[in-house]
């Protein structure tokens, strides 16, 4: 290095606030994110995480890209029924996975390390059964414990398919705060008693997961997932949606900033530690100072569609789909053909029986 | 000759018609293939049931009108026995497309594929059978309608559950349902539909089954 030279003289314009942010403005960012990997043209994506992850699946579908729906609604299900039973929102019917601890539970279920019997169930006063991992997955709960566990098992199988068949597993980290069962260690997706379950202060304890705990849970989950598919790439994002409430005792604004900061730090560090993990800055696009909160709805919590569009614009701009297509299909057209063939066969039998009535020979 | 009953439905009415004939119960039959009762392929107006896109169905209605001298075949003043709505293989084929299975006491728990809850299947059946139930309710305003669900043969576990659900929905809709499985075969030694009444095809019941059902309806003064 010559005299008067310094490392900053060799940094691209994207490394300076003035040239990368202040001058281009919010809609002029370039090179905000470039995928760490070259992917096949027909790369298969699975999406999970907090509610913000839903936007990614919708955008992938809108672009007719390969979004893996490993637990789709049965054929001929009207859209409103599919929605109310939480089909087509994430790549399997996990519901929102808010915390790394919950991701670890699903990874354990998928790997067979634990079974559906490990998931806590709750029976409501109308005798409907809810699994506390996905308390709102069925609008009125399950008819029996057997059905609830069978459903968890099916979702775990679908979740496993997402790991083994996807090229990229997109996971949006949502919360550090959660609730757990002090006796069993079961992590809840919502606090028991807030809609589903009944709150017992002796059993249900608040947990604000710390950086080391989240890092550990995420690493453990990824390790299990890579055992199932060593080629799986993981794209982490952090939801920019603020906390609706905090049980930490802090002001919710402070709690939100803490939560998002920890998640952001974990995501960044995990991405830096593994070549197969990348971080996509949806949080930064929505929630950092240059937006002046412009993409938040008037309640300063919901994200406006324009913000989602901007996020997804950067996502698609940064994706590198330069490798040749691998040609793997994600549709179950063979199953559908077989089912239709069987139905047609039954139909034929019925029609033939009716026609035979006219045979007077 | 004025009939004692009017049979309306799909291929499952054949056994009932044969049974009625064997018992000497005069009958008229309006029958369409199961597909003829699906997805807007029939309607209802002042002339009664109107099959759409089914020349065979239209001819059958015309035949009854001519023979009986009525425009609306429901105004014959006789009980209507129907199997409308129970084309179960077709109803649940969407679950087969995706490999979904409902949980049932009568079948092992699925260890592969997907699970559809009973609540989901209820919403699904309700959606796909709204029109059928509406037509049956309209028919019931003009005649004594008795729904006879076909026996649960040749259908998978989803079809069995859909059958149960559809019966519940029909009853909830105020329709009278006579389920032979409960009314006539609940005390059989073997669970399920008695194999002695299964035809070779194997989705339909025999004339002997029809005879048992029609005899029971007569004995209970339902026809």
Residue numbers in A near B123 (CB within 8 A): 81, 84-85
Query: Taking CA atoms, what residue in A is nearest to B13?
Result: A354
Between chain A and chain B, the number of residue pairs with CB atoms below 8 A apart is 128
Domain-located, residue A153: yes
CA dihedral for A118, A124, A130, A135, sign (positive or negative): negative
Domain-located, residue A136: yes
Strand partners, A179: A188, A206
Residue in B97, B103, B124 closest to A81 by CB: B124
- At B121-135, the pLDDT tens digits run 999 999 999 988 988
Task: State the pTM of this model.
Answer: 0.92
Residue in B89, B93, B118 closest to A147 by CB: B118
Cα–Cα distance measured from residue B101 to residue B156, given in angstroms and rounded to the nearest whole number: 9
Domain-located, residue A37: yes
Residue in A150, A335, A354 closest to B97 by CB: A335
Residue in A151, A343, A354 closest to B117 by CB: A151
Given a cut of 70, whether residue B209 has pLDDT beyond it is: yes
Are B44 and B117 in contact, with CB atoms under 8 Å apart?
no
Cα–Cα distance measured from residue A312 to residue A316, given in angstroms and rounded to the nearest whole number: 6
Cα–Cα distance measured from residue A302 to residue A240, given in angstroms and rounded to the nearest whole number: 9
Query: Taking CA atoms, what residue in A is nearest to B115?
Result: A151
Query: Taking CA atoms, what residue in A is nearest to B12?
Result: A350
C-alpha separations of A13 from A16, A285, B141, B152 in Å: 6, 18, 79, 72
Rg (alpha carbons) of chain A, rounded to whole number: 24
Instruction: Judge whether A139 is closer than 8 Å to chain B, CB to CB.
Output: yes
Residue in B95, B124, B203 closest to A349 by CB: B203
Question: Quick one: pLDDT at residue B148?
Answer: 98
Question: Quick one: pLDDT at residue A332?
Answer: 61
Are A102 and A187 in contact, with CB atoms under 8 Å apart?
yes
Question: Quick one: pLDDT at residue B194?
Answer: 95
Question: Quick one: pLDDT at residue A344?
Answer: 61
Quote the crossing angle between the two packed helices A211-228 and A252-273, to the nearest 10°: 40
Residue numbers in A near B114 (CB within 8 A): 71, 154, 157-158
Rg (alpha carbons) of chain B, rounded to whole number: 17
Residue B164 distance to chain A (closest CA, Å): 14
Domain-located, residue A24: no
Instruction: Judge whether A337 is closer than 8 Å to chain B, CB to CB.
Output: no
Residue numbers in B near A153 (CB within 8 A): 109, 111, 115
Domain-located, residue A134: yes
Under the banding of pLDDT at 50, 70 and 90, the label for residue B1 is confident
Inter-chain CB proximity B116 and A351 less than 8 Å: no
How many domains is chain A built from? 1
Residue numbers in B near A343 (CB within 8 A): 89-90, 93, 96
Cα–Cα distance measured from residue A29 to residue B97, given in angstroms and rounded to the nearest whole number: 45
Strand partners, A129: A123, A142
Domain-located, residue A79: yes
Which domain covers residue A166, as residue numbers? 32-356
Domains of chain B (ranges plus CATH)?
5-219 (3.40.50.1110)
Inter-chain CB proximity B119 and A75 less than 8 Å: no
Domain-located, residue A113: yes
Question: Quick one: pLDDT at residue A269?
Answer: 98
Cα–Cα distance measured from residue B77 to residue B55, given in angstroms and rounded to the nearest whole number: 26
Inter-chain CB proximity A354 and B31 less than 8 Å: yes
Closest CA to A302 of A246, A237, A244, A259: A244
- At B134-155, the pLDDT tens digits run 889 999 999 999 999 999 998 9
A window 56-75, beta carbon within 8 A of B: 71-75
Task: Spell out which chain B residues touch chain A, with contact meaning CB-CB distance below 8 angstroms.
Answer: 10-11, 14, 31-35, 56, 87, 89-90, 93-100, 103, 109-120, 123-124, 127-128, 154, 201, 203-204
What string of pLDDT tens digits covers the 361 residues of chain A? 677 899 999 999 999 999 999 999 999 999 999 999 999 999 999 999 998 889 999 999 999 999 999 999 999 999 999 999 999 999 999 999 999 999 999 999 999 999 999 999 999 999 999 999 999 999 999 999 999 999 999 999 999 999 999 999 999 999 999 999 999 998 998 899 998 999 999 999 999 999 999 999 999 999 999 999 999 999 999 999 999 999 999 999 999 999 999 999 999 999 999 999 999 999 999 999 999 999 999 999 999 999 999 999 999 999 999 999 999 877 665 666 666 666 666 665 556 666 566 555 5
Query: Taking CA atoms, what residue in B is nearest to A86?
Result: B120
Domain-located, residue A313: yes
């Amino acid at each position: 290095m010559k005299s008067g030279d310094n490392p900053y003289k060799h940094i691209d314009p994207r490394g300076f606030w003035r040239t990368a942010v202040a001058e281009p403005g919010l809609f002029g960012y370039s090179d905000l994110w470039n995928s760490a990997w070259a992917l096949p043209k027909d790369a298969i994506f699975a999406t999970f995480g907090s509610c913000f992850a839903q936007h990614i699946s919708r955008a992938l579908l809108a672009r007719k890209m390969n979004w893996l729906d490993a637990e789709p609604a049965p054929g001929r299900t009207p859209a409103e029924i599919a929605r109310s039973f939480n089909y087509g929102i994430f790549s399997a019917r996990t519901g929102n996975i808010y915390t790394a601890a919950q991701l670890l539970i699903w990874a354990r279920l998928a790997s067979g390390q634990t079974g559906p019997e490990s998931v806590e169930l709750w029976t409501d006063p109308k005798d409907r059964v809810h699994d506390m991992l996905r308390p709102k997955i069925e609008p009125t709960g399950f008819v029996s414990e057997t059905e609830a566990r069978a459903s968890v098992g099916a979702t775990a199988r679908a979740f496993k398919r997402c790991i083994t068949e996807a090229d990229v597993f997109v996971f949006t980290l949502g919360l550090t705060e959660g609730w757990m069962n002090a006796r069993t260690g079961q992590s809840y997706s919502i606090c028991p008693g807030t809609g589903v379950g009944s709150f017992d202060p002796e059993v249900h304890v608040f947990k604000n997961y710390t950086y080391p705990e989240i890092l550990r849970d995420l690493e453990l989950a990824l390790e299990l997932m890579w055992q199932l598919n060593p080629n799986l790439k993981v794209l982490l994002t952090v939801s920019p949606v603020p906390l609706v409430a905090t049980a930490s005792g802090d002001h919710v604004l402070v709690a939100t900033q803490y939560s998002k900061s920890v998640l952001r730090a974990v995501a960044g560090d995990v991405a830096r530690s593994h070549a197969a993990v990348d971080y996509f800055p949806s949080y930064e696009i929505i929630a950092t100072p240059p937006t002046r909160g412009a993409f938040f709805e008037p309640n300063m919590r919901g994200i406006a569609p324009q913000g989602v569009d901007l996020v997804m614009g950067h996502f698609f701009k940064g994706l590198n789909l330069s490798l040749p297509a691998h040609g793997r299909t994600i549709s179950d057209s063979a199953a559908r053909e077989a089912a239709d063939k069987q139905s047609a066969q039954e139909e034929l039998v019925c029609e033939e029986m009716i026609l035979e009535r006219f045979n007077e020979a | 000759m004025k009939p004692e009953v009017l049979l309306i439905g799909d291929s499952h009415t054949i056994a009932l018609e044969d049974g009625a004939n064997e018992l000497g119960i005069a009958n008229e039959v309006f029958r369409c293939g199961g597909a003829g009762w699906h997805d807007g392929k029939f309607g209802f107006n002042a002339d009664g049931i109107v099959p759409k896109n089914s020349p065979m169905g239209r001819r059958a209605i015309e035949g009854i009108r001519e023979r009986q001298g009525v425009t609306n075949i429901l105004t014959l003043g006789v009980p209507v026995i129907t199997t409308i709505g129970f084309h179960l293989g077709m109803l649940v084929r969407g679950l087969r497309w995706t490999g979904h299975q409902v949980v049932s006491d009568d079948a092992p728990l699925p260890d592969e594929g997907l699970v559809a809850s009973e609540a989901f299947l209820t919403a699904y059946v309700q959606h796909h059978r709204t029109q059928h139930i509406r037509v049956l309710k309209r028919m019931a305003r003009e005649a004594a309608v008795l729904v006879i669900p076909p026996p649960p043969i040749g259908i998978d576990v989803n079809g069995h559950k859909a059958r149960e659900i559809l019966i519940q929905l029909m009853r909830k809709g105020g329709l009278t349902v006579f389920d032979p499985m409960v009314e006539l075969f609940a005390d059989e030694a073997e669970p399920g539909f008695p194999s002695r009444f299964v035809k070779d095809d194997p989705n339909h019941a025999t004339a002997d089954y029809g005879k048992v059902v029609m005899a029971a309806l007569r004995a209970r003064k339902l026809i």
